[in-house]
Amino acid sequence: ALAPRCGWVLPGLEQRLAVPAAVSPATARPYAAAAAKAAKKDAKRGRQEKAKEAAKEKPLPRRRPLMSKPVDDVYLTWLYRRPSYGLEQAVGMLKRFQELDFTHPKQFVYINVFLDMALQKKKKVDPFSSGVALPHRFTDEVNKVLVFTENEQEAEVAREHGAAIVGGVELIKWILEDEIQADFYVAVPAIIPKLIPLRNKLKKKYPSTRRNSLGSDIPRMVQFFRECHEYSVEDESVIKTRIARLDMPTEHIIANLKTIIQDICTFKPSNFDPIVQRLVIRSSTSEGLLLNLDGILPQVEKAEEKEEEDATDEDQQKPVQESVST
């Protein structure tokens, strides 16, 4: 008779179940690769840590202090401090460079102004643009001015004084679609509430009292913006702009430069460090000359000191006057 099915055991089955199954080479290969990769990463990390420790232990090379003034005509520039020049001296050097290099005598003169935009508590001055009326014009170029007004008499006055475009709210659509563009936008106070759709489009050129482009004196605004010189901050802290032509008299070049610098200084309160940190002047074909800022920046501190001295003098004079009156 056959034994019950549940009790059947095939020959050798017990031995197979007792012996653990061997791992095939194909199954073991991924585990070996992962282990080798981890070991390689550990070795690389160890080398990097040793390199960092060696760099820390190695003393930093001592930089030689820069010398002030070269002795010879030929020298290595990186071994000496960059010389700075007075404004009149630098303009004279630019004129001399033009004669020696036989370049165009009417080339433009440029300045690069490096700014300190920092304020208190990690705040800073926002990049800005501005227009300034130079005392001595150096180009015949005239800016294109658009005037917003709905008054027919004001529109006629704007046209007579040289406005390129004059109109009311009907211009908004054409400006938004870039069909009409201008260098400057001027408006009278009565129409400004209707120009709000242009705020994001015009951005810094949107009419405002801060830029002197919003007011009732249309002739003055149109004349100013037709002839004004515009500049703006680039790369968050640098202004690069032309200021004159090299063939102009030296005093005219200096007057234009000082006018622009004084306008730049109005964008930062005087109780902070001066906004102008470095100033370089050059012509179209010359090298840049670093300027000495003495006599160029507005003398705010000296004015404050003078007021304090006047106040102390008044305090000292009061007791004397009282004693005389008694």
Q: Quote the DSSP letter at residue 295.
A: T
Strands (DSSP E) contained in the chain are 84-85, 108-115, 129-132, 145-148, 165-167, 184-187, 229-234, 238-245, 276-283, 289-291
Which token pair is 194? 């209707």
Closest CA to 287 of 115, 142, 10, 83: 83
pLDDT class of 260 with cuts at 50, 70, 90: very high
Whole-angstrom Cα distance, residue 282 to residue 187?
37
pLDDT class of 320 with cuts at 50, 70, 90: very low
CA distance from start to end of the chain: 151
Q: Are 127 and 232 in contact (CB under 8 A)?
A: yes
CATH number for the 145-227 domain, one of 3.40.50.790, 3.40.30.10, 3.40.50.2000, 3.40.50.970? Answer: 3.40.50.790
User: How many other CB atoms are there within 10 angstroms of residue 255's CB atom?
Assistant: 16
pLDDT class of 302 with cuts at 50, 70, 90: very low
Note the pLDDT of residue 322.
Answer: 45
Q: How many C-alpha atoms does 161 have within 13 Å on its Cβ side? A: 21
The residue-averaged pLDDT of 268-292 equals 94
Note the pLDDT of residue 47.
Answer: 81
pLDDT at 309 over 90: no
Whole-angstrom Cα distance, residue 147 to residue 164?
8
**Least confident among 90-99, 200-209, 222-231, 293-302:** 293-302
pLDDT in tens, 63-86: 677 777 777 778 787 788 888 999
**Least confident among 36-40, 108-112, 214-218, 300-304:** 300-304
pLDDT in tens, 134-168: 999 999 889 999 999 999 999 999 999 999 999 99
**Least confident among 108-117, 266-275, 279-288:** 266-275
CATH topology of domain 88-116+237-294: Ribulose 1,5 Bisphosphate Carboxylase/Oxygenase (3.30.190)
pLDDT in tens, 118-129: 998 889 999 998
User: What percentage of the chain reaches a pLDDT higher than 70?
Assistant: 79
Q: What are phi and psi of 111, to 5 degrees?
A: -130, 145
Domain chopping of the chain, boundaries = 88-116+237-294, 145-227
